[in-house]
Amino acid sequence: MKKVGIVGWRGMVGSVLLERMHAEKDFAHFDAVYFSTSQAGEKGPDGKPLKNAQNVKDLTDMDIILTCQGGDWTKEMHPQVRAAGWKGHWIDAASALRMDKSAVIILDPVNQAVIDRARNDGLNDWIGGNCTVSLMLLGVGALFKQGWVEWASSHTYQAASGAGAKNMLELLKQMQFFGDRLRDGMNAGQSALEIEKQVGVLMKDAAFPREAFGHPLAANLLPWIDSALPSGQSREEWKAEAEANKILGNTRPIPIDGTCVRVGALRCHSQALTIKLNKDIPLAEIEAAIKADNAWVRLVENDKEKTLKGVTPAAVSGSLDIAVGRLRKMSLGPTFVNAFTCGDQLLWGAAEPLRRMLRQVV
Ligand code: HSE
């Protein structure tokens, strides 16, 4: 049996990954060896002592390394294990290696052909994509694969989980902060405007929990995710075009750009898409292509009740569904398509492509 070294299994993405691996009985297919950056020698989840994630020899004893540890660890250890001549498969959730020439961004329902070509060429660094990009391509990748897309604009509504577990908790603490302090006034029948005024004051209160985000997210939104680039884009916005084209293996990149926004959802990223087609494709053909593309896409009719019931973070959270709705031609012209997608950022957005790649290389 192949030996798979698992690093970063305790964090949020790592925990979701292990949960999925147990659910799919993945562990029957290899020997799992657990590593730690801080608790080597202590008992791991299988009852055996944890290996040291900073020990090159222990790492290179593995056939495969599967990591959700984060970019700093990847940047530290990946060059060392490769320099030691290790030829095993490196499967990584972090973005550190994503745009390297020798790395493939894995999203097998979308780019199995790219993965197959890379395996034939002997590549062995397999990196999970940015969650919004992966979720967009699982939803409407069919249109790109058909060669119908001239350009696309994606405006995102990204959940707190994308910023990390601390941020997710902070969003809930902010809600709790409001709840605790507004309860009496609300119970006493204060008006919406009176309460709203207090919310504005509470957001500026020194005790308001804002350590992780730096700002209120509850009763607010944050139209900037990740660092600033000279183009005026945020790094999250830059990833849409860079990563989507790499995933699709496009030699002529399709322009994709928009504004990425953090909203008060917990673990589902949504996006409003404007897709410019290079010819007038009938809506029925577009619907058929999306439905047939992969087993997880769930196309919802452009109907108010069905949309509000099925194309929301509340409807999708915790499932592998990729909901696609609001599909219609826009008043801008017959080559402009509107769509709205929603997917679980921790599942298809992070863990699922990794465990599926692991199964492939095992
Ligand atoms: N960068 C994403 C976000 C999550 O901040 O929501 C990881 O892909």
What's the full length of the chain, in residues?
362
Q: Which atom of ligand 1 is nearest to the CA of 131?
A: 8
pLDDT recorded at residue 56: 98
Backbone angles phi, psi at 304, to 5 degrees: -55, -55
Report whether residue 124 contacts ligand 1, using a CB cutoff of 6 Å. no
Annotated catalytic residue 89: no
Mutate to test the pocket of ligand 1, among 135, 166, 222, 225 (most ligand atoms within 8 A of CB): 225
Annotated catalytic residue 269: yes
- Three-state DSSP class for 298? strand
Angle at Cα 269 formed by Cα 92 and Cα 231, nearest 5°? 75
pLDDT digits (tens, 9 = 90+) for 84-133: 999 999 999 999 999 999 999 999 999 999 999 999 999 999 999 999 99
pLDDT digits (tens, 9 = 90+) for 344-357: 999 999 999 999 99
Q: Which atom of ligand 1 is nearest to the CA of 262?
A: 6
pLDDT recorded at residue 230: 98
54 vs 147: CA distance, rounded Å? 45
pLDDT digits (tens, 9 = 90+) for 17-58: 999 999 999 999 999 999 999 999 999 999 999 999 999 999
Catalytic residue among 68, 78, 89, 131: 131
pLDDT digits (tens, 9 = 90+) for 289-343: 999 999 999 999 999 999 999 999 999 999 999 999 999 999 999 999 999 999 9
pLDDT recorded at residue 274: 98
The DSSP output letter for 191 is -
Report whether residue 236 contacts ligand 1, using a CB cutoff of 6 Å. yes
Q: Name the token pair of 281.
A: 């494709």
